[in-house]
Amino acid sequence: MASQRLKMAAQASSLPASLAGKYKGSFAYVTITDRLPLILTKVIDTLHRHKNEFFEEFGEKGLEAEKHAIACLSKLRNELQTDKPLTTLKDNGPDATLWNQYLEYHKNLSDEPPSWFQSPWLYTECYMYRRIHEALALSPPISDFDFFKEEKERAFFDSQDAIIILSTYLQQMLKNIQNLNEKMLKEELLKLIQVSLWGNKCDLSISGGADNSQKANPLQSVEELKSFILVDHMEKVWSLLINMKRKNAQTTRLDITLDNAGFELIADLVLADFLISSELANEIHFHGKSMPWYVSDTTKRDMNWVIKQMQSANHKWMSRCGVSWEGYRKKGSWIYHDHLFWTLPHEFSSMAQVAPDLYTELQKSDLIIFKGDLNYRKLIGDRKWEFTVPFHQALNNFHPAPLCSFRTLKCDIQVGLKPGQGEQLTNTEPDWMIIGKYGIIQFDA
């Protein structure tokens, strides 16, 4: 472990500084000052609203657990708002040792103890969600309660019209999929990639849990939003997949590291369905979170719930999608994984050392799609990169397989832009990096 810490420290010293809340006026500062306390307050309110349910299910023990969890969360909110030093985790989770080792590593980097505003923003934000999980883990018998479940389910129902449009489009197109030539296949793939990209706008951690569902027609939006894609490597994705198909590869495996539940997950599943049906992929591996995370991130429970909702929907094409998706799972064409690494604070460049089993698994992939902001932040280390730094360089030797990021910009990092592109955007629209208006489809072979 000591040699690993030295290696991580050496790597970190040669890279740009991490984004952190100590930079006043930065998005990290605003997040820690305003957004994170708001999310904690909502979690506390959610627990309080379920008090009667806890009592009905568990009696007095349920009430005691609710009080204990709220006390832990109130203490956490106070620590955050007063920039207290970060503390070790006290639960017995399988990841607790790794979290506590990471805290020790940060203690060794500086004379100051790691704290909410002074330490890297990526670390402290992930740490808050892990501490929320700890508050529940230390409060049996309500330890399995998903405090973000209601918001995720509401986001699904509020996006119902868009889901109907998308599932109808998919099912009608699949009727003729055998008749599509390569040009038509490419058009459909590129369209569904863009729907998946813009689905990433529906992020409840950015909105602090407020409604952020898909209201517009997602297919109509594709043409309207094309000019807002700052890095567009869709052609590279198409070339990789069609070349595999032309070679009649026995198995083409695609991995999708998921982001938000709700409409974004539907958009990802529609894309995955098309990839299987068009034989551009034979196997799709989904990677989600092992605990409730960043308000709307997808867990196994969310995936199961969404497919069940689609199956039982009172709409022909939604239901058809749900039945197909369950069929893919039973057949083994779709496989869901949750690994603890996705909820650790580590950058992906340390995956090979910290989670070699996951890195080895990803090396089996022909293409890994990373959805959303948090995955992008972990891909390039959430640092003060120059806009023109090549994506490959910022990945810092993370390359288990060809990979592509689908992301709408909701935090102030971006690499791989053309000279002057970032500066021009800053001049015309100072908040361009954080408002979710712009997107990237950024590929590294």
Range of the domain at 130: 2-137
| Contact between residue 398 and residue 390 where contact means Cβ atoms under 8 Å apart | no
Strand partners, 369: 256, 404
> Which tens digit of pLDDT belongs to each residue from 224-263?
999 999 999 999 999 999 999 999 878 999 999 999 999 9
Residues 133, 158 within the same domain: no
The mean pLDDT of the chain is 94
Where a domain ends, among 113, 137, 161?
A: 137
pLDDT digits (tens, 9 = 90+) for 389-440: 999 999 999 999 999 999 999 999 999 999 999 999 999 999 999 999 999 9
Does residue 145 sit within a domain? no
- Residue 9 reports pLDDT greater than 50: no
Model pLDDT for residues 348-393, shown as the tens digit of each residue: 999 999 999 999 999 999 999 999 999 999 999 999 999 999 999 9
Tens of pLDDT, residue by residue over 120-172, are 999 999 999 999 999 999 999 999 999 999 999 999 999 999 999 999 999 99
CA dist., res. 88 & res. 97, Å (int): 9
Last residue of one domain, picked from the residues 87, 103, 137: 137
Determine the pLDDT at residue 196. Answer: 97
Say yes or no: 341 and 399 in one domain: yes
Whether 116 and 228 share a structural domain: no
The domain spanning residue 205 has which CATH number? 3.40.50.10880
Q: How many domains does the chain have?
A: 2
Whether residues 112 and 158 share a domain: the answer is: no
Q: Taking 90 as the threshold, does the pLDDT of residue 1 lie above it?
A: no
Domain annotation covers residue 144: no
pTM exceeds 0.85 for this model: yes
Q: Looking at the structure, tell me whether residues 280 and 339 fall in a common domain.
A: yes
pLDDT at 231: 98
Indicate if the alpha-carbon torsion angle 94, 95, 101, 104 is positive or negative. negative
pLDDT band with cut points at 50, 70 and 90 for residue 207? very low
Last residue of a domain, one of 137, 164, 187: 137
State how far the Cα of 423 lies from the Cα of 137, in Å rounded to an integer: 46
Q: String of b and e for 41-79 (b: at least 16 CB within 10 Å)?
A: ebbbebbeebeeebeeebeeebebbbebbbebbeebbeb
Q: Is the dihedral of CA 435, 438, 441, 443 positive or negative?
A: negative
Longest dimension (CA), the chain: 66
Question: Binning pLDDT at 50, 70 and 90, where does residue 111 land?
Answer: confident
Q: Which letter, b or e, does each residue of 393-414 get, where b requires 16 or more Cβ atoms within 10 Å of its Cβ?
A: ebbbebbbbebbbbbbbbbbbb
Residue 221 above 70 pLDDT?
yes
Give the model's pLDDT for residue 6. 44
The residues near 114 (Cβ < 8 Å, ≥ 6 apart) are 85, 86, 103, 106, 107, 123
| Domain-embedded: residue 388 | yes
- Domain match, 98 and 207 both: no
% of residues, the chain, pLDDT over 70? 95
The CATH number given to whatever domain includes residue 114 is: 1.20.930.60
